[in-house]
Structure 1
Amino acid sequence: MNKSLSVNMFTKVPEITVYFWITKILTTGMGEVFSDYLVNNMNPVLAVAIAFIGLIVSLVLQFRADRYVAWIYWLVVVMVSIFGTMAADFIHVIVGIPYIVSTSFFAIVLAAIFIFWYATQKTLSIHSIYTRFREMLYWAAVLGTFALGTAAGDMMASTMKLGYFSAGVVFAVLLAIPAVGYWLFKFNEIFAFWFAYIMTRPVGASFSDWTSAKHGGLGLGEGPVSLTLGIVIVLLVGYLTITRKDINEEAAALEVRKRA
């Protein structure tokens, strides 16, 4: 890709609307249960390898695109969700590190990403994702939020003995804080976004675990829950692709004129 294109890309992320948050929560839930389904129904090493390859392929598609494409963007989010779940579970289940330690570790990693991002770019706004370097920082932060959210959700449900449903309620309340704060108390927009973004992961994961788990949940099964959430996600992304409700048409038109 030539230099002029690399610094003048279309914005590579969707507009932040209610559709964004609904899709985000659905992908977190689907990634959580589908990750567990893969690990429990095939060789775990093979499952992790498949998830990693899927993540790499989706990221290649995303980086090769010169603008936001709904199905590509949300494919990456789904793959980050699946692989991020496996990464967090690997640290606890295989390595044997307690959830409180892994949660702290991922929090430090995510904080380091944000610090580096701000130190080099002077902004953490997702509306500024129009250079290759910023896009790399954005997806690194997204992966960090998924790993942190997974570990935090498991810590709340297991270590603190709340169970999946109660943990989901706690995180749902925490998720409401940035929304209410931004609406009523003029919270900083960027802070509110990333706070909410992190919280969507344990909300979606906790409730999907609750619906699928035989012990401490509704027992619907990881396969059926994964399939149901996957179908809903496909339908929603298809709707967004057709209606373009997650695209700022005025900004897109301006970009077209700039590059004409």
Structure 2
Amino acid sequence: MVVSTGERPEADSADSPAGWVMRKLPHVTALFWVLKIVATTLGETGGDLLAQTLHVGYLVATLIFLGLFVVAVTVQLRARRFHPAVFWTVIALTSTAGTTLSDLMNRTGGIGYTGGAIVLSSALAVVFVVWWRSGQTLDVENVATFKGEVLYWIAILISNSLGTSSGDFLADSVGLGFRDSAMLLSAIMLALLGCHYFTRINGMALFWIAFVLTRPLGATVGDFLSKPRSHGGLEWGTMWTTAALLAALVVLVAFQTWQIRRHPLEPIPAPVHRRTGEPQRPNGAVVSAG
């Protein structure tokens, strides 16, 4: 797991005519992970609300959420700096779309939770290979090109879909249930945090492992809150659980927005190709090096 200090990166902007670029993506801090878990839990219950409770079905719900995702991510890609409300809207929509897409594959498509996890893991591996070969930075805090940000959002959409399959696999196929699955995943997250501080394991590898695992954590917590007691849940229902999580997300996003207004994010050096060092066109607002 990666936790950032939020300090300005050590780099010489004089080598680039563009100077510095405003961040499009947030620092990976404790608040980031809290927001991610709330957003992914909301994605689980929101996806179930539309597909199951409102009887829209997995296919139609997936098409609706993917359409909303395309609109939101277009706004995000066109933005010139980080906007918490836009960013977390996209994250929440990748979670809802990931929930219904995973269920469409695993249940309607009949490939099962194990098959779904294998397919989505393979797809995520392909995205990372393409990302690596593209020459874009793999540092998720310092992505500053259009191509890099597109790869970032594709990886997030697939990872959230994979997280849904993984959570269902643990809770149903393995038989741990919602509560025990959530406890196991929480323990793994704590272990990843320890690895970040006390080992030399690559920080980006820890980030993506943690990012994938927060999705099944959110899924199992969402199911635990919303499912009936006969299935091991608290029987809040998808509607009330979704409403509560949406309210929590709005409050947290408002807090992050207030926080950033008080302490604006520092810009990052203008992007260069990871292997050749050639300057690349930045996707954020360019600022002077001063």
TM-score, normalised to structure 1, is 0.91
Greater RCO (CA < 8 Å, at least 6 residues apart): 2
Q: Give the drift of 1:189.
A: 1.4
Alignment of 1:1-260 (within 5 A): 10-40=22-52, 41-44=54-57, 45-121=59-135, 123-214=137-228, 215-244=231-260, 249-251=265-267, 257-258=287-288
Could you list the structure 1 runs, at least 4 aligned residues long, displaced by more than 4 angstroms after superposition.
6-9, 245-248, 252-256
Give the SS at the match of 1:11: coil
Q: Give the drift of 1:251.
A: 2.8
Give the SS at the match of 2:288: helix
Q: Give the drift of 1:174.
A: 1.7
Structure 2: gaps (5+ residues): 1-17, 271-284
Give the SS at the match of 2:234: coil
Q: In terms of mean alpha carbon deviation, does 127-136 or 169-178 score higher? A: 169-178
Give the SS at the match of 2:267: helix
Alignment deviations for residues 157-197 of structure 1 (CA, whole Å, 9 cap, x no partner): 11111111111111112222221101112322111111111
- CA–CA separation in structure 2 for the residues paired with 1:186 and 1:246: 34
- CA–CA separation in structure 2 for the residues paired with 1:225 and 1:62: 27
Q: Give the structure with higher Rg (CA).
A: 2
Cα distance 1:34–1:102, how it changes in 2: closer, same or farther (>3 A)? Answer: same
Asked if the contact 1:20–1:246 (Cα under 8 Å) also holds between the matched residues in 2, the reply is no
Cα distance 1:246–1:115, how it changes in 2: closer, same or farther (>3 A)? Answer: farther
Query: Number of residues paired by the alignment?
Result: 256
- CA–CA separation in structure 2 for the residues paired with 1:161 and 1:229: 26
Q: Give the drift of 1:8.
A: 7.4
In structure 2, what residue type is equivalent to 1:242? Answer: W
In structure 1, what residue type is equivalent to 2:30? Answer: V
Asked if the contact 2:19–2:287 (Cα under 8 Å) also holds between the matched residues in 1, the reply is no
Asked if the contact 1:150–1:201 (Cα under 8 Å) also holds between the matched residues in 2, the reply is yes
Percentage identity across paired residues of the two chains = 28
Asked if the contact 1:8–1:131 (Cα under 8 Å) also holds between the matched residues in 2, the reply is no
- CA–CA separation in structure 2 for the residues paired with 1:132 and 1:187: 28
- CA–CA separation in structure 2 for the residues paired with 1:63 and 1:123: 17
TM-score, normalised to structure 2, is 0.82
In structure 1, what residue type is equivalent to 2:165? Answer: A
Asked if the contact 1:70–1:240 (Cα under 8 Å) also holds between the matched residues in 2, the reply is yes
Cα distance 1:8–1:155, how it changes in 2: closer, same or farther (>3 A)? Answer: same
- CA–CA separation in structure 2 for the residues paired with 1:170 and 1:22: 17
Q: Please, what is the CA RMSD of the aligned residues? A: 2.5
